Amino acid sequence: MSYMVGYGSNYPKQIHHRGASIVSIKKDPAPVTCQGGFDWFHRPEPNPNVLEGAIVTPDENDGFADDRNNFQLAEPTTVTNAPLVGVLAHLAQLL
């Protein structure tokens, strides 16, 4: 499994991220209330918006349960993404 959203065929599809878990206004222009956001958040389907490039964290046994309620593992953070971005930026500079 890839821990980067959108990379490969088997990646996390239930990221703990409000913008990714609520339908786009382009598909449904109806306003989403605070409570309505939680209704979207608690659906078992994959997120309607793919948060491409976000990186999630595996557990101590290198496992990952794709469940947006598990914020400890399913929430993309700058702490997780920043080191990878830094390394890739440095490598791009060398080209």
Task: Give yes or no: 52 in active site.
Answer: no
Catalytic residue among 59, 60, 62, 66: 66
Task: Calculate the dihedral angle through the C-alpha atoms of 84, 87, 89, 94, rounding to the nearest 10 degrees.
Answer: -150
CB atoms within 10 A of CB 11: 19
Q: Which position among 28, 59, 67, 75 bears the catalytic label?
A: 75
CB 67 within 8 A of CB 74: yes
CA distance 58 to 36: 29
DSSP annotation of 6 reads T
Catalytic residues: 66, 75
